[in-house]
Amino acid sequence: MRKISVLAIALFIGCVSAMAQKWALVDMEYILKNIPAYESAAQQLEQSSKKWQKEIDALNTEADNLMNNYKSEMVFLTDEQKKEKEKAIIAKETEAKDLKRKYFGNDGELYKKRESLMRPIQDEIYNAIKEIAEKEGYMRVDDRASSPSIIYANPANDISDAVLNKMGYAK
């Protein structure tokens, strides 16, 4: 009986201390929209992405043209000429796939460019959030923009404007 009482008291103290923790919210979408450097970086990424996609599309168009020409000339070609044309088509398709992987792959140019442009902004936001959380004694800071489990939160707990102020983007 005594063990049950001690366990109940320990659970009660744990629950009370958990409820006493301070927490805050940030809205990363809101913060990012109010940072001019982020908008500029996003535009640079978009421009690069479009440029690279045009290069890939051009190679795919060349491959399609080679294929169409091959199909229309096929009856007039010798077996060796057919093999050469097929190799040329495959080479062009492979070139397009390799270029796509180079630009848009897991470790491609777009990833590297995004990392170099966005990482400093993300680090600056993280450091501002961390400083505010430590100063105000927040045990937890959640991103309301990316958390579908937050249905409602009191706006008084949102520190997004404080983060922007800390970063020098006063609202």
- The confidence score (pLDDT) of residue 85 equals 93
| Phi (first) and psi of residue 49, to 5 degrees | -60, -45
- Is residue 44, in this structure, part of any structural domain at all? yes
Domain extent for 68: 21-167
- Is residue 91, in this structure, part of any structural domain at all? yes
- Is residue 156, in this structure, part of any structural domain at all? yes
Query: What's the pLDDT band for 7 if we cut at 50, 70, 90?
Result: very low
Higher pLDDT, 151 or 58: 58
Query: What's the pLDDT band for 6 if we cut at 50, 70, 90?
Result: very low
| 95: Cβ contacts below 8 Å, ≥ 6 apart | 59
CB burial readout 100-127, b (16+ within 10 A) else e: beebeeeebebeebbeebbeebeebbee
pLDDT tens for 60-78 read 999 999 999 999 999 998 9
How many distinct structural domains can be found in the chain?
1
| Phi (first) and psi of residue 170, to 5 degrees | -60, 140
What's the pTM value of the predicted model, to 2 decimals? 0.71
- Is residue 1, in this structure, part of any structural domain at all? no
Query: What's the pLDDT band for 169 if we cut at 50, 70, 90?
Result: confident
- The confidence score (pLDDT) of residue 147 equals 77
- Is residue 11, in this structure, part of any structural domain at all? no
E strand segments, 27-170: 138-143
- Is residue 14, in this structure, part of any structural domain at all? no
pLDDT at 131 over 60: yes
- Is residue 48, in this structure, part of any structural domain at all? yes
- Is residue 148, in this structure, part of any structural domain at all? yes
